[in-house]
Amino acid sequence: MTTVATFSKVEEAHLLRMRLEDAGIPAHLRDENTIQIDWLYSNALGGVRVEVADADVDAAKAFLQADAGE
């Protein structure tokens, strides 16, 4: 698994995860539960990480670049 984005808020990470999955790129959130329990851990853990399989990294990066251009 490779991290393609990080967020300080769980909700923002979920939005990206859902958009990636809608584009056919399976995604997973790391540290989501820990940060939901105590949001002060977000900075210490580096935020909620959106991860994709190593085989999907190029597709996810292309999606993020295309999305940033809109």
What are residue 44's phi and psi, to 5 degrees? -65, -35
pLDDT at 69 over 80: no
pLDDT value, residue 35: 83
Domain count, the chain: 1
Which segments within the chain are labelled E, that is strand? Answer: 2-7, 27-30, 48-52
Q: What is the pLDDT of residues 3-46, one digit of tens each?
A: 999 998 889 999 999 999 999 999 999 988 888 888 787 777 88
* Entry pTM: 0.84
Higher pLDDT: 1 or 40? It is 1
| Residue 3 burial by Cβ neighbours in a 10 Å radius (0-12, 13-18, 19+) | middle
* Domain that residue 59 falls in: 2-68
pLDDT tier at 70, thresholds 50, 70, 90: low
What secondary structure letter does DSSP report for 1? Answer: -
